[in-house]
Structure 1
Amino acid sequence: MSSRLKTLLGAAAIVVASALTAHAETTLKWAHVYETSEPFHTESVWAAQEIAKRTNGRYKIDVYPASQLGKEADINQGLKLGTVDMIISGSSFAARDFKPIGVTYFPYIFRDPSHLIAYTKSDVFKRLAKGYEDKTGNVITAVSYYGTRHTTSNTAITKCSDLKGVKMRVPDVPAYLAMPRACGANTTPIAFAEVYLALQNGTVDAQENPLTTIEAKKFFEVQKNIVLSGHIVDHLNTVISKSRWASLSDEDKTIFREVMQEAAAKTTKIIEDREKALVDDFKKRGLNVVEVDKADFEKNVLEKVKFEDFGYEKSDWEAIRAIQ
């Protein structure tokens, strides 16, 4: 073989190797606990496809819904273990590593979804998100609205004292317990999958969840009062693991963040639209949709619940409340 031919073949091999390297596909795992019909899943699938497009196929992201890779605590642990690359999860789990970020679950801290979204663009959010990042190395790239938590009950509830003595199922998360306990309810941490039966057989008299969950889980079939307590404007974070984030180029970091924020915005709009429609839907089904004296609920919470009990800072609560 002539030296010229060897040179040409060598150059060709380099070109092919470079092309293969440029288009090498990295497969990532994105996990969450929500159903495939929910926007937290559908918009994650869209985001996975969009990231593949914008990175010219260098990343293939497989989305695992409905706790396929474990419950919420498991997938948060998976970020540390490297078994998942990104997750969708609530700030109550982020607060296990950095308590102050959980202040967003304090009852009545947010006025409405638009206030929540304004918070996600604020300096106080950047500071709290950085505190979580400094503690774990994981990065919160986006925040989506999950829904406003309301109450269903056997009897109509219009003020805080109406909950006194009521057996109420509440998730076993400290800040979720704040409002019911401030109002004197007897809280019970029943597993989510067992809530319908517990309401049906009278193990508990009430529960709380967003309207979309009340509809999806058919709690309205066994509770005729939809009480618009609106005590928590809930949200979910899109989080990328420390090791995966470190592996991304600055250009790819920008792509991942932008796409995930677009997906979160689409999710937020879908949830808001669904909630607005559900109030009328519940009324049409003959349910008693009850407006409450939110000021009364809020007053009781502030008088009877201490920020310090949760590891929150009152200054953070004040800063968030002041956001317009």
Structure 2
Amino acid sequence: MMKFYAAAFTAVIALCATAPAQAQTNLKWGHAYETSEPFHTESVWAAEEIEKRTNGRYKITVFPASQLGKENDLNQGLTLGSVDMIVSGSSFAARSYPPIGVTYYPYIFRNPDHLIAYTKSDVFKELAAGYEKASGHHIAAVTYYGTRHTTSNKPITSCDDMRGLKIRVPDVPAYLAMPRACGANTAPIAFAEVYLALQNGTVDAQENPLTTIEAKKFYEVQKNIVLTGHITDHVNTTIAGRRWAKLSDEDKKIFTEVTQEAAARATKIVQEREGALVQTFKDRGINVQEVDKAAFEQVVRAKVPLEEFGYKQADYDRIRAVQ
């Protein structure tokens, strides 16, 4: 009998030794950006850091370059359950809660520092809360994506030079404001297909930050970079509502702190890269053209007022007032 108990006790000890201390939850984190971009590298850092700070309770795999679908698919995936976390712009969040899209109205931000100050303001908190109530999903962090400029087959020195130009913009209302105010024709081609569209002449131009123009190699198929600076862009790290609701308060704190640290790291990288890229493009023989941004802004405000997109003047004014 004693031998039986001893054997049973040994078996229990062995089972406890081989069983994990606690169950591990596997999460999918998707985005549309290349592996060389900080939106990916810092997401990978964050995934590893969350696993470490939660003692392995969460294992997060990051899927770059639209592996889990294009940006619209990723946003839908938060609700459908095909993805747990994403990096995506407020332009897509605005499909669930239109007021948050006011941040894409051209020239609303003076510079990247103004954008970052906005992300710490009461107006941001209110807009993010409105999005969460409408969609169920939680914006955990915001990263500066870059200041959007225009690339083109032909030189552009003024708004009038864009008249009749066929330009690719994301399929989001506020992105249309500047091109349409200047008389361009817009084409909502998927991000992953832009290079080919430029190469085969489906479109004559596109607009993106300098870092994206570099990463996606648009400069190979466009010889002019026009520093229109029309949108100071950002992306959100968003967590699916069903996943956020299951996190303990302690884990919510960890996810928030880590994703915000990652956002700050990525923002710093983007700003540093932007600072060097103008000269890099010039060295490659690309025509980099300065323009009168105040003149562009004046045309946009006159021809495509923000109310046309359903945005609130009060939100615009509060964001402009952020210091």
Task: Please give the TM-score of this superposition, normalised by the length of structure 2.
Answer: 0.91
**Cα 1:226–1:133, aligned 2, differ >3 Å: closer, same or farther?**
same
Aligned to 1:105: 104
**Cα 1:233–1:94, aligned 2, differ >3 Å: closer, same or farther?**
same
Contact kept in structure 2, 1:25 and 1:60, CA below 8 Å: yes
C-alpha root-mean-square deviation of aligned residues, in Å?
Answer: 2.4
Aligned to 2:94: 95
CA shift, 1:216, in A, is 2.4
Contact kept in structure 2, 1:142 and 1:261, CA below 8 Å: yes
| 173-182 vs 67-76, which moves further | 67-76
Secondary structure at the counterpart of residue 281 of structure 1: helix
**Cα 1:256–1:107, aligned 2, differ >3 Å: closer, same or farther?**
same
**Cα 1:192–1:310, aligned 2, differ >3 Å: closer, same or farther?**
same
Contact kept in structure 2, 1:46 and 1:263, CA below 8 Å: yes
- C-alpha offsets along residues 81-101 of structure 1, whole Å, 9 cap, x if unaligned? 222211111111111110000
Contact kept in structure 1, 2:167 and 2:185, CA below 8 Å: yes
CA shift, 1:191, in A, is 3.9
CA distance in 2, matches of 1:39, 1:305: 33
**Cα 1:83–1:197, aligned 2, differ >3 Å: closer, same or farther?**
closer
- C-alpha offsets along residues 98-136 of structure 1, whole Å, 9 cap, x if unaligned? 000011111011111111111110000000000011112
Secondary structure at the counterpart of residue 175 of structure 1: helix
Counterpart of 1:239 in structure 2: which amino acid? T
Contact kept in structure 2, 1:113 and 1:233, CA below 8 Å: yes
Secondary structure at the counterpart of residue 269 of structure 2: helix
CA distance in 1, matches of 2:204, 2:236: 31
Contact kept in structure 2, 1:140 and 1:238, CA below 8 Å: yes
CA shift, 1:195, in A, is 3.4
Contact kept in structure 2, 1:23 and 1:56, CA below 8 Å: no
CA shift, 1:309, in A, is 2.2
| 278-287 vs 20-29, which moves further | 20-29
CA distance in 2, matches of 1:135, 1:258: 24
| 73-82 vs 44-53, which moves further | 73-82
CA distance in 2, matches of 1:198, 1:243: 37
CA shift, 1:181, in A, is 0.6
**Cα 1:51–1:195, aligned 2, differ >3 Å: closer, same or farther?**
closer
- C-alpha offsets along residues 150-203 of structure 1, whole Å, 9 cap, x if unaligned? 011233222222212222222222111100110111223334444334434544
| 207-216 vs 117-126, which moves further | 207-216
Contact kept in structure 1, 2:37 and 2:215, CA below 8 Å: no
Aligned to 2:259: 260
Aligned to 1:29: 28
Contact kept in structure 1, 2:165 and 2:205, CA below 8 Å: yes
The residue correspondences of 1:270-289 to structure 2 (distance < 5 A) are 270-289=269-288
The reply to whether residue 210 of structure 1 matches residue 225 of structure 2 is no
Aligned to 2:268: 269
Contact kept in structure 1, 2:26 and 2:59, CA below 8 Å: yes
Aligned to 2:218: 219
CA distance in 2, matches of 1:76, 1:200: 28
Aligned to 1:151: 150
Aligned to 1:231: 230
The residue correspondences of 1:169-180 to structure 2 (distance < 5 A) are 169-180=168-179
Secondary structure at the counterpart of residue 36 of structure 2: coil
Counterpart of 2:286 in structure 1: which amino acid? L
| 137-146 vs 83-92, which moves further | 83-92
**Cα 1:256–1:203, aligned 2, differ >3 Å: closer, same or farther?**
closer
Aligned to 1:199: 198
CA distance in 1, matches of 2:69, 2:196: 24
**Cα 1:20–1:242, aligned 2, differ >3 Å: closer, same or farther?**
farther
**Cα 1:134–1:200, aligned 2, differ >3 Å: closer, same or farther?**
closer
CA shift, 1:283, in A, is 1.3
Counterpart of 1:184 in structure 2: which amino acid? G
Task: Please give the TM-score of this superposition, normalised by the length of structure 1.
Answer: 0.91
Identity %, equivalent residues: 72
Secondary structure at the counterpart of residue 56 of structure 1: coil
Secondary structure at the counterpart of residue 175 of structure 2: helix
**Cα 1:22–1:315, aligned 2, differ >3 Å: closer, same or farther?**
farther
